[in-house]
Amino acid sequence: MAAPRYFTVTWDQLHRDSKALAWRLLELGPWSGVVAITRGGLIPAAIIARELECRVIETVSIVTYDEEKRGEPVLAKPPSAAGDGTGWLIIDDLVDTGTTARVVRALLPRAHFATIYAKPAGKPLVDTFVTEVSQDTWILFPWDTEAQFIAPIAKSAPAAR
């Protein structure tokens, strides 16, 4: 198996991509509220809710990751205010394998599901997304990273022959 690819998303890029998603969602509204999938969907949901002038924000928490290892999904907090999802917009940063998306879809079957990034395995579960990335790409979001010194490539590469 090949090593995973890493794609670093900056705060500026996340903001631009969240606004791009808001533009796509604008004509589909108005929305009764936004359901942010925590934790990754919180910041995109805040940006999108602002752009769509939506003041009602609910959260749903599905725990599926421990660092970079996947586990069985556990509902940590249901989206009680959203009912069956009618008129509601679900926002997440990424749909990966679709594990979280399937759980949230079952909870809110009538909601519109939107993510900024989508991988092929999860893409069919969302209604709207901005950017598709390969399944073997690990996205490094700005809340998961910090700026630090990295040695030049020449110092870490094997000696040239």
Residue 39 preceded by cis peptide, ω within 30: yes
pLDDT at 107: 97
pLDDT at 46: 98
Q: pLDDT digits over 132-159, tens only?
A: 999 999 999 999 888 888 788 888 766 6
Residue 134 carries which side chain, given as an amino acid letter? Answer: S
Entry pTM: 0.85
Residue 59: give the domain boundaries: 5-156
What would the two tokens of residue 144 be? 């998961």
Q: What is the CATH number of the domain that holds 14?
A: 3.40.50.2020
Q: Which residues are catalytic?
A: 92-93, 96
Q: Is residue 93 part of a domain?
A: yes
**What is the domain count for the chain?**
1
pLDDT at 69: 62
Question: Rounded to an integer, what distance in angstroms lies between the CA atom of residue 82 and that of residue 115?
Answer: 18
Residue 131 carries which side chain, given as an amino acid letter? Answer: T
Q: Is residue 161 part of a domain?
A: no
Q: pLDDT digits over 97-131, tens only?
A: 999 999 999 999 999 999 999 999 999 999 999 99
Q: pLDDT digits over 28-80, tens only?
A: 999 999 999 999 999 999 999 999 999 999 999 998 766 556 678 999 999 99
